[in-house]
A and B are shown apart, each in its own frame.
Chain A
Amino acid sequence: AQKITQTQPGMFVQEKEAVTLDCTYDTSDQSYGLFWYKQPSSGEMIFLIYQGSYDEQNATEGRYSLNFQKARKSANLVISASQLGDSAMYFCAMREFDIQGAQKLVFGQGTRLTINP
């Protein structure tokens, strides 16, 4: 069963508009973490924002915010005032821990975001 689901293979948005990228997850753990990464064409994965399962407030980092709805198991990324440089692949990931406490990231399929001028 897929643990991270990103239902939007591609999104096209006009520059300066806000965009929401969807992410739903599946876990039976009480303690978990959710990440969003950006992958430009250069290939490097760039960390954007993090939400812990016990965090009561939605995470925000500059133009990025995370709409965390725990009961619905969704963690959507909102990018405000989009810029041309925001064009990239965006991945949602969930952190799991093994019995030794090491973290593993489980990624979704990604959403390709294109910002049009």
Chain B
Amino acid sequence: ETGVTQTPRHLVMGMTNKKSLKCEQHLGHNAMYWYKQSAKKPLELMFVYNFKEQTENNSVPSRFSPECPNSSHLFLHLHTLQPEDSALYLCASSFYPSGTSGEHNEQFFGPGTRLTVL
């Protein structure tokens, strides 16, 4: 495997279900991110982990629970979701610290998990 992988690619769940999204990066990065992409809205940053420590939680509802057991793996645990949580969930990784503006240090994205909440 290369780059950033995400599983599953598609997920349909009911509002009472509990599921988890998985992300794995094979790039040697030490920062990982969860983004939410809803229809007709810009990508929204949800969580940031640097060196396995969460440094950002963008006012995300508690029904989304991230977990980062090591610098290569990132999970997003889902429970009692709402239909409006249906979206594409993208994982990304990069190096940390990010350095100066002169360095690219772009984030590499996975293919996403298309989540539908019924």
Q: What is the chain B residue whose CB lies nearest that of A3?
A: B42
Given contacts A50-B104, A91-B43, contact A101 B109 (CB under 8 A): no
Number of chain B residues whose Cβ lies closer than 8 Å to a Cβ of chain A: 31
Cα–Cα distance between A95 and B102 once the two chains are bound (Å): 12
Interface size range of chain A in the complex: 20 to 34
CA distance A109 to B110 in the complex (A): 19
Task: Evaluate contact between B114 and A43: CB separation under 8 angstroms.
Answer: yes
Taken residue by residue from 36 to 78, chain A's Cβ proximity to chain B (1 for < 8 Å, 0 otherwise) reads as: 0100001111110010111100000000000000000000000
Q: For chain B, residues 64 to 117, give those with C-beta under 8 angstroms from any C-beta of chain A.
A: 88, 90, 92, 94, 96-98, 100-112, 114
Contact assessment for B48 and A107 in the assembled complex, using a CB-CB cutoff below 8 Å: no
Residue from the list B42, B106, B110 in contact with A107, Cβ < 8 A: B42
CB A42 to nearest CB in B, in angstroms, measures 6
**How far does the Cβ of A58 sit from chain B's closest Cβ, in whole Å?**
15
User: Are B97 and A44 interface neighbours, CB within 8 A?
Assistant: no
A100 near B42: Cβ-Cβ < 8 Å: no
Give the residue of A45, A97, A107, A108 whose beta carbon is less than 8 angstroms from that of B98.
A97
In the complex, which residue of chain B has the Cβ closest to the Cβ of A35? B106
Output the least CB separation between A66 and chain B (Å).
Answer: 12
A102 at the interface (CB under 8 A from B): yes
CB atoms of B92 and A45 under 8 A apart: yes
* B23 lies within 8 A of chain A by Cβ: no
In-complex Cβ contact of B106 among A31, A32, A47, A106 (8 A):
A47
Sample of 10 further A-B pairs with CB below 8 A, known A31-B100, A101-B96: A43-B90, A45-B90, A47-B106, A47-B107, A47-B108, A95-B98, A97-B98, A102-B31, A103-B98, A107-B42
